[in-house]
Amino acid sequence: MPERAIMHMDLDTFFVSVERLLDSRLNGKPVLIGGTSDRGVVASCSYEARKFGVHSAMPMKMAKQLCPEAVVIRGNSANYMKYSDIVSEIVREAVPLFEKTSVDEFYCDLSGMDKFFGCYQYGTELRERVIRETGLPISFGLSENKTVSKVATGEAKPNNQRRILLGDERPFLAPLSIQKIPMVGDKTYQTLRNMGVSKIHTVQEMPVELMENAFGDNGVTIWRKANGIDPSPVIPYQERKSISTERTFDRDTIDIVKLRGILLAMAENLAFQLRRGDKLTSCITIKIRYSDFQTHTQQCRIPFTSADHLILPRVLELFDKIYNRRMLVRLIGVKFSHLVGGGYQINLFDDTEERINLYQAMDKMREKYGDRAVVSAAGMMAKSIGRWNPFNGDAPPLLANRRQ
C-alpha cells in the first residue's frame, strides 16, 4: 500500500488574528472575543490572554476577572467567513484533495506528491502562501494519517509546522497528555484519570480489550489513535449551499395556528441539522403554495447563525408577510441557504452560557432519541395559541388573561 501524506492546517487564534488584521493596535495585547456582557461567553482568545488561564467557552465574566487588562471585542462573523473563504480558495487551488472541517481547519491529502515536489516542502510553500496573501498566521502538521497530523499541528503552534516521519508516530505521541487525542473530551478524560491514565504512553501499553470494556467501541478507537493508527480518508470538500423541508397537506387548510406551528417545528429541525453539521445560515426563505397551485416565496438575510432564538422569530415574520391571500394552503416550506462551514462557536458573540448549555442539552437528546424528541416551548405555544409571537416579549394571550 502506498505511503500516505496527510497534512492538517489550522489558522492560529483565527478570530483574534482577523481582528488584528483590521486593527493593528490589538497586536501583542490580550484579546477576548465573544459576548461582551458578563453573561456572555468567550468565543476566542489570544495567546496573551491564555497565559492567564482564559480559554474559549469560558464565561466572559470569569475571563475578565482572570485577565482584567484584556481588550474585549464582540466580533463580526461576516469578516471571519470572508477570510475563511479566501484561505479555502488558496487551498483549493494548491492541493488535489482537501477536507474543510471547520471555519479555520483543513486536511489535505498530498499522497504521491513527494514524487514531484516533496510533501513537506510543498506544505511549507502552501503555508507561506497563505501567510503572504492573507496576513494570517497558520500552522500545519504532516504525517501518515489525520490523527497524528492534527496533534502535530497543535504541538507546532503558534505559527509553525511539524513533520512526523513514518514509524515515529508512537514515540511522538507517547509523552503527550491523553487530552491531545481528538475525541477525548472532558468526561472521557476524567474517566481515564480515574483509571490512572494521564499520558498517551499508558494507553499505548494497555490491552485494547481493557479500553473496549471501559468505553465500548470508542475505547477501541481511542486506543488505535493513541498508537498512531488512523486509516480514515480525507473527505472531498463540497460546500452544501442550502437545506430545506416542505409539507404538503392531505387536505388544503386555512388553519393559521396549524400553519405557524408546523413552520416553527420545521425551522427548529433545520436549525438542529445546521448545528449537527457545523453549518451556519445567512438566508431564510418561506414558501407557500395555495390551493390554486400559485406559489409564493419570501426571504430575508440575517447574520450567520444556527441558533433557534435568532432564526424562529424571522420565520414567523416572513410567514406573516407572505400569507396575505386568505386562501386554502396546499404546501408550506422552509429553506436555509447561503450556508457556510462553522461550528456553533460563531454564535457565542451574542449567547449566554445558559443558552449554550440549553442548546447542547437539547441537541444531545435529539441525537439520542431522534430529531423530534425535543420541541421548544415556543413552538408548542405557537401551535396552541395562534398568532402570538413567543419572541417579542409579550405574554401569551391565555396567560395574560389570567393576570387580569
First-to-last alpha carbon distance for the chain, in angstroms, is 77
Give the whole-angstrom CA distance, residue 303 versus residue 188: 35
The beta-strand segments (E) located in 92-240 are 98-102, 105-109, 138-143, 161-163
Helix runs in 51-117, H state only? 60-66, 77-94
Are residues 161 and 143 in contact, defined by beta-carbon separation less than 8 angstroms? no
Q: Which amino acid is at 117?
A: F
Q: What is the CA radius of gyration of the chain?
A: 24
b (16+ CB within 10 A) / e for 266-293: bbbbbbbbbbeebbbbbebbbbbbbbee
Give the whole-angstrom CA distance, residue 343 versus residue 100: 12
Output the CA torsion sign for 150, 158, 132, 102.
positive
141 secondary structure, DSSP code: E
Q: Read out DSSP for 247-279?
A: EEEEEEE--HHHHHHHHHHHHHHHHHHHHHTTE
Choosing from 19, 48, 105, 268, the catalytic residue is 105
Residue given cell 432564526 in the structure block = 311
Give the whole-angstrom CA distance, residue 365 versus residue 306: 17
Tell me the C-alpha to C-alpha distance, in Å, between residue 117 and each of 1, 140, 292. Answer: 20, 17, 63
Give the whole-angstrom CA distance, residue 305 versus residue 322: 23
Active site residue 105: yes
Q: Which residues are designated catalytic? A: 105
